[in-house]
Amino acid sequence: MIASSFWLPPDISTHGSTIDLIIEYVHWFMVVLFIAWGSYFLYCLVRFRAGANPKATYRDAKAKPSKAAEVVVIIIEAILLVGFSIPVWAYYRSDPPGNDKNPLVVRVVAQQFAWNIHYPGPDGKFGATKPELVDEALNPVGLVDGSEDPAAADDYVSVNIFHMPKDRDVLVRLSSKDVIHSFAVPLLRVKQDAIPGMEIPIWFKAEKTNEETQEIMRRPFDLPESAEGEEAETFVKENRLRITMDEYAGIPAGMTLSMDHLKTLVDAGVTSVDMAPGFPVNIQCAQLCGLGHYRMKGQMKIYETADFEAWYADAGKEEVFDEDDFDDEEEDEEDE
């Protein structure tokens, strides 16, 4: 399919291909409309120019072709809507994964300007939350203490990092603490507004882990000829969010290129390295929600089932914050 390989990001979800297909159909239809209406516009410019028509006429257009064109457009649009959009929407929005599918249920609480991801822990029960307990630094969702509500004892709250397994349904209960945000994960073809005062369910399933997604996104980068000077510095700066996908000159795969690494590579005569985004699956806020909207982004960590279970079993014992996983500060300083 042209769309998925040419202008859309990779699709790693089970449902995304149907969305991509309708995006492609709509674009082709718009190409046809553009050519047709553009040609008609040019024809009118010539046919009804002032030189040939010194006096305007006020009679209705009686031509049959214009009526026929309108009818054809209405029919095609009706097919797109009734034949494609509504079924896709109905299928994916009316049928949340039930208990038989054992979905991973997660609360996502959006706020200016972060994503709080609340896991129920191994007991599968969300602990109670109270607004008065919210502490932006230590308890962003206002979770009660384990002694007050046993269900809260093993809960885990992650900020900006959404851990999930592949090949398992994920059911997100989406809400917002303050204004309207939009939970968007382009690679999973997910986008849903988060509305304060409402809890909106949204569900999806990933077919690829982060590593597999990086394999899809890997591409070669030509290294600068010298490891010193402006060109080298620019290269390192521009690629600081990417990692190497193979071992080069003794530098193991999965590394961010530093100036030192670059020197090692250039000295060893390496001219090109394969790289991919270090965090390939982004969560973005797709609703302009305030001054810090641009930095309201998170990352998905999609694991193999066993790796996820291993992470999840210990998650509740960790600190609330997981900042080492997500080094976004350098970028913030630059932007501000």
Alpha-carbon distances of 246 from 55, 209, 252, 264, 271, rounded to whole Å: 74, 18, 7, 15, 14
Binding flags for Cu ion, 163-202, as an x/- string (CB under 5 A): ------------------x---------------------
Q: Which is nearer to Cu ion, 181 or 242 (CB)?
A: 181
C-alpha 120 chain-centroid distance = 24
Q: Please identify which residue in 106, 285, 302, 315 interacts with Cu ion, judged by CB under 5 A.
A: 285
CB within 8 Å of 290: residues ≥ 6 apart = 112, 113, 179
Q: Which is nearer to Cu ion, 181 or 189 (CB)?
A: 181
Q: Please identify which residue in 243, 265, 273, 296 interacts with Cu ion, judged by CB under 5 A.
A: 296
* 3-state SS, residue 281: coil
Binding flags for Cu ion, 241-280, as an x/- string (CB under 5 A): ----------------------------------------
Provide the minimum distance between the beta carbon of 11 and Cu ion in the complex, in angstroms, as a whole number. Answer: 24
> Are the beta carbons of 216 and 208 closer than 8 angstroms?
yes
* 3-state SS, residue 192: strand
- 227 binds Cu ion per the rule CB under 5 A: no
Among residues 162, 132, 128, 158, the alpha carbon closest in space to that of 145 is found at 128
Stretch that binds Cu ion, among 38-46, 76-84, 282-290, 301-309 (CB under 5 A): 282-290
Q: How far apart are CA 330 and CA 46, in angstroms?
A: 58
Stretch that binds Cu ion, among 98-106, 207-215, 290-298, 321-329 (CB under 5 A): 290-298
Residues at the site binding Cu ion, with contacts judged by CB under 5 A: 181, 285, 289, 296
